[in-house]
Amino acid sequence: MPPRDIIIDTDPGQDDAAAILLALASPEEINVLGITAVAGNVPLPLTSKNTRIVCELAGKVDVPVYAGCASPMTRDLVTAEHVHGKTGLDGPVLPDPIMPLQDTHAVDFIIETLRSRPTGTVALCPLGPLTNIATALKRAPDIAGHVQEIVLMGGAYFEVGNITPAAEFNIYVDPEAADIVFKSGIKITVMPLDVTHKVLVTPTRIKALRDTQTKVCSAMADMVDFFERFDTDKYGSNGAPLHDPCVTAYLIQPDLFTGRHINVEIETQSDLTLGMTVADWWGVTDRAPNAMFMGDVDAQGFFDLLTERLARL
């Protein structure tokens, strides 16, 4: 099988960094056509800078990086410095990037790439709020028919919420964008908190990263150490969840994950439950399935893959 062509849409974020590094370390399975930055965990100037920091950490300075939307479609931006630190990549000391940002806007890059390549050959991998993807779909509805698949991190059912009691951060920040994506008719695979909260960076798993004695794995371990402190306090678990790399791990080894093909709708009205992914896990409605909603993961298999691949960089 030739590698899958993908566009990563991201708001780094230490876990975004893990997802990007995993993709860039896996050229046999994944060909990264470009990386588009979006406002989310931290504002756009930082996410577009952090994306390039991560590419340079991986030694992949030729990957084109595009800046996208600076704020959600209709709302003010909500950020998550309380989790990721002031820069979004707090933890290791990494140099400012030298590689340039592309001049093209991320939304234009997404549209042009999908239109110029054969239909059904490009997958979109959103790791942050869905603003860039939904803006592209709104501006160029024809591209929906060109996307091979969207594999995204976002939402929750059994784990409910992490930014509010009812909503996961990526969906909460831009629920109108999420609503557009989930109603697009595109094949969607979702990595919700139900999965990512099982992917815990325990001390043993951090040690496995450090034991490789590579620059990339050490930086990753430093990043994980940083936000691990926050999440362990919050959840009281034996290590923090590593959300976004579930997306790129799925592209490499889909059998690590299991889920259900179900209907998922986005709450865009209620103040109380804004951004909730209303997932019909039990099939209690007749609403048509629109997403493969993952529910379980082989967590150790995931960490073995992540560590082995990042050590290659």
Q: Which residues bind Ca ion (CB under 5 A)?
A: 11, 13, 16, 127-128, 244
Distance CA(267)–CA(195), nearest Å, equals 21
CA distances from 81 to 85, 220, 306 (A): 5, 18, 25
Beta strands, E only, the chain? 4-10, 30-37, 65-67, 122-126, 147-153, 188-191, 200-201, 240-241, 257-262, 264-266, 277-279, 291-297
* Residue placing its CB nearer to Ca ion in the complex, 16 or 222: 16
Query: Closest separation between CB of residue 145 and Ca ion, Å?
Result: 27
Query: Closest separation between CB of residue 16 and Ca ion, Å?
Result: 4
Query: Closest separation between CB of residue 219 and Ca ion, Å?
Result: 17
* Residue placing its CB nearer to Ca ion in the complex, 69 or 262: 69
Dig out the tokens for 169 from the structure. Answer: 């951060």
243 is catalytic: yes
Query: Closest separation between CB of residue 168 and Ca ion, Å?
Result: 11
From the list 146, 197, 243, 261, the catalytic residue is 243
Q: Which of 130, 207, 142 is nearest to 173 (CA)?
A: 130
Distance CA(298)–CA(227), nearest Å, equals 22
Catalytic amino acids? 243
